[in-house]
Structure 1
């Protein structure tokens, strides 16, 4: 029988598993609060003589997760060691991720311990109360989704047979013809993305355009062969960088002033790419995480 479990992984890679099968015993469905649903705040205005309010906007607040359970051992020395391990891993100075798993279902959220764990000795066992804060309240899939708009497709397969006196040419790869891609956001909210421009030759002023909204983001610079430019449109991480010969350089100042840090709306998002020159030497990839309101 599959049981729910949570795994806390801090930025040093140290991990601690919580669940009914763990020595850190916790019944996820009963002993954990805050993993499903979110809290939203609605902003409104009103004026004299108006009945009710006028909607202005809304925001979803940070997520607070509360976990209670007990250290499932009666061995005093082992219990003290497990207690020390929990205190070390739930270090509030370290960023972390929390992984929820139930069978083959998995979701991840960025988080941080809020204060130190409360671990108290009761009559028989140590009981703990963990406060976890998620400034970004959305759960996401473990791996990013990648969409290639322009790329080279491999056409060389093994086993490969080359006839000794053959005059036929061999195709080792070909360039995908499509300049438009649909980034389908299956998540519950709009989300940012990483846009990667890769130059296979000289490329001037690469641009990515949302076909439906006509928003775009453009880099006003010339890329050399091998250059990679990455643009991040996620809240809190917005920016651009150039990777040339393994060296990263801040490229924010080269973003066109009329550009928009586009977000992926829920559902279909049609994008196309272009460049002032060298468009046939340009590869474009979009990376994004589908975000969800709960698990």
Structure 2
């Protein structure tokens, strides 16, 4: 049978697995709280004589997850060994991620232990309660979604006879417009990557729907340069990678630029540059964000 399981991985790569078949036994569907749904706060205002309130906005709160289970062995030495291992891995000093798996369905969330994991002896097994908080409350897929703009497209052809005009190995996708579809439950930040295959001056990415843009100023890219701009909350910034060196490039973002978020559904973008646009490639990465598993 297929069972739900949770895998906790800290920033050192150390792992604990919680599930029906794990030595850290846990029935995820019954003994774990907080993996579905998120509390939210509504902001509103009112004035004298007004009936009801005026909606201003809302925010989702951090997610709290509690994992309850037992160490599935009665060998006392083994129990103590497994408890020590869990306490070592569940170190609140370390960033971590929690992975939910059921059959082929996988979701990931960043987390940190919040408080003291409790281990308590019972008549048969040692029980545990592990409190976890997720400051970013949204689950995501394992891999980022990726959308290329004007990248090179493979077009391999192998014939026994080589034609006079040669063999087409690849071509440059001519479009400078792309639709990035956000199939998540909420707006999402993105990571924009500009790559130069020649000289490019002041590249820009424009949201066709909203007319928001991200523009770089005082910038001349040469072949091999990669500029990366991150618009995700908590990770906003820009870097230039040149000859293997990563340089902070935040000061080159035009002050009227917007750290654009992807709306739910369609988001149409186009890119341009003051000069050298034909030597520019762009890729947009994002993670769909979900309210629960």
Superposition TM-score, scaled by structure 1 size: 0.97
Which residue does the alignment assign to 2:95?
Answer: 95
* Structure 1 counterpart of 2:172, from 164, 170, 175: 175
Q: Say if 1:87 and 1:116, in contact at 8 Å, map to a contact too.
A: no
**Where does structure 1 differ by over 4 angstroms across 4 or more consecutive aligned residues?**
159-163
**CA deviation after TM superposition for structure 1 residue 209, in Å:** 0.5
Which residue does the alignment assign to 1:270?
Answer: 268
Q: How far apart are the structure 1 equivalents of 2:161 and 2:173?
A: 25
Please give the residue correspondences for 1:190-205 in structure 2 after superposition, counting only pairs within 5 Å: 190-205=187-202
Which residue does the alignment assign to 2:54?
Answer: 54
Q: How far apart are the structure 1 equivalents of 2:50 and 2:289?
A: 38
* Structure 1 counterpart of 2:225, from 224, 227, 250: 227
**CA deviation after TM superposition for structure 1 residue 125, in Å:** 1.1
Q: How far apart are the structure 1 equivalents of 2:143 and 2:167?
A: 35
Q: How far apart are the structure 2 equivalents of 1:28 and 1:167?
A: 64
**CA deviation after TM superposition for structure 1 residue 160, in Å:** 6.2
**CA deviation after TM superposition for structure 1 residue 123, in Å:** 1.9
Is 1:16 matched with 2:16? yes
Which residue does the alignment assign to 1:29?
Answer: 29
Describe the superposition over 1:123-180 as per-residue Cα deviations: whole angstroms up to 9, x where unpaired: 22110000000000000000000000110112235x66464xx533222211001111
Point out where structure 2 has 5 or more consecutive residues left out of the alignment: none
Is 1:280 matched with 2:278? yes
Q: Relative to structure 1, is the Cα distance of residues 113 and 160 closer, same or farther in structure 2, using a 3 angstrom cutoff?
A: farther
Superposition TM-score, scaled by structure 2 size: 0.97
* Aligned length, in residue pairs: 292
Q: How far apart are the structure 1 equivalents of 2:111 and 2:271?
A: 35
Aligned to 1:276, the other structure's residue is in SS state strand
Point out where structure 1 has 5 or more consecutive residues left out of the alignment: none
Aligned to 1:275, the other structure's residue is in SS state strand
Describe the superposition over 1:68-105 as per-residue Cα deviations: whole angstroms up to 9, x where unpaired: 10000001111111111110111000000000011111
Aligned Cα RMSD in Å? 1.1
Aligned to 2:275, the other structure's residue is in SS state coil
Q: How far apart are the structure 2 equivalents of 1:200 and 1:124?
A: 66
